[in-house]
Amino acid sequence: MDDQHAWNTVFCEHCGLTLQVPVYCKNRFCPVCGNHRSRVIRHKIDVLIHTIQLRKFDSFKFLTLTIKNQPDIQNMTDELITAFRRLRQRALWKKYVRGGCSVIEAKPGEDGWHVHLHIILESGYFPVKDLTTLWKQVSTGQGVFIKKIHGSQVIGYITKYLTQEKATEKEQKKMSQCLIGRRLFQPFGSWFAIVKAIPRLKFPCPACNKNHWFFGNHDQWFRSSLPQSILDDASYERAPPKSISRQRSLIPEMGRTPTIHD
């Protein structure tokens, strides 16, 4: 656990369990903040895998696309994403691929930054020779890596690239700053509509299994602290705070020690 990271204390409205959640540090590759992002994306992919009905000759495939290293990570990222968009517009790509999702990974190297895309495809057999030819036509890349994977492997393959744990904090912040406005996880094709329809992931209280987390004045929002006369009133309905959506989006960090409010 990172003791240097800032934390907020949130509590369950129903049972009073209090937990600590990380305050977003604006580093998109922070392993502490990334825990929430990874859980949300794992949930989306899990729903995807169990929703998709593969066609007779289709399967899941893991694809990596790269281009030549450059000293400017932002320009390289723009070039890579533009090339991938052009690839998806090709008739041959549309012939084989129904949908998928991509994750951006960036690594510092001796000759500049190495930015590449890791992609999960739902597709039929895609000849490597044809795919390589297409990629060379739309980018400065020289080759591709693709292999067939089982549905149970998809989550592990795509989520391990969401954090850059091997990079230094300075490099992480540099990458985070240059990737502002870019989605680290991006569905495309038929997967886009499926992901958009997936309900927001809820994080139930480990003590009572409710999903109402709040921060601030504990006594103001904890139901058991209200007068019994109010609680007995059938017409009583607690007015939610204006920032309820933000408060409920705070995700408990299960690695922190919980406490119970007396």
pLDDT tens figures, 181-208: 777 789 999 999 998 888 887 788 888 8
Same-domain pairing of 188 and 208: no
Over range 219-224, report the average pLDDT: 48
* Residues facing 59 on adjacent strands: 123
Encode pLDDT of 134-176 as tens digits: 999 999 998 899 999 998 888 887 777 665 555 666 776 777 7
SS (H, E, C) 77-145: HHHHHHHHHHHHCCHHHHHHEEEEEEEEEEEEECCEEEEEEEEEEEECCCCHHHHHHHHHHHCCCCCEE
Q: Which of 165, 181, 197 is a domain's end point?
A: 197
Last residue of a domain, one of 197, 218, 252: 197
pTM: 0.72
Task: Answer yes or no: do 115 and 191 share one domain.
Answer: yes
Q: How confident is the model at residue 62 (pLDDT cuts 50, 70, 90)?
A: very high
Residue 1 counted as domain residue = no
Say what percent of the chain tops pLDDT 70. Answer: 74
Helix axes 34-51, 190-197, angle to 10 degrees: 110
Same domain, 153 and 255: no
The yes-or-no verdict on residue 75 having pLDDT over 80 is: yes
Cα-based torsion angle of the residue sequence 93, 95, 96, 98 in order, rounded to the nearest 10 degrees: 90
The dihedrals phi and psi of 146, each to the nearest 5 degrees, come to -145, 140
Task: State residue 238's pLDDT score.
Answer: 45
pLDDT score of 88 more than 80: yes
Q: What is the model's pLDDT at position 217? A: 55
**191 and 245 in a common domain:** no
What CATH number has the domain bearing residue 44?
A: 3.30.70.60
Q: Same domain for 212 and 136?
A: no
Confidence of residue 211 (pLDDT cuts 50, 70, 90): confident
- Of 146, 172, 197, the position where a domain reaches its end is 197
Lowest mean pLDDT among 76-85, 112-121, 165-174: 165-174
Neighbour order of strands in the sheet with 259-260 = 213-215, 7-12, 17-22, 259-260
For the sheet containing 97-109, what is the strand order? 144-149, 59-66, 112-123, 97-109, 185-189
220 and 158 belong to one structural domain: no
Residue 69 has pLDDT above 80, yes or no: yes
142/252 same-domain check? no
Total number of domains in the chain: 2
Q: Which domain holds residue 175?
A: 34-197
Cα–Cα dist 118/33, whole Å: 21
Same domain, 237 and 220: yes
What DSSP character marks residue 71? S
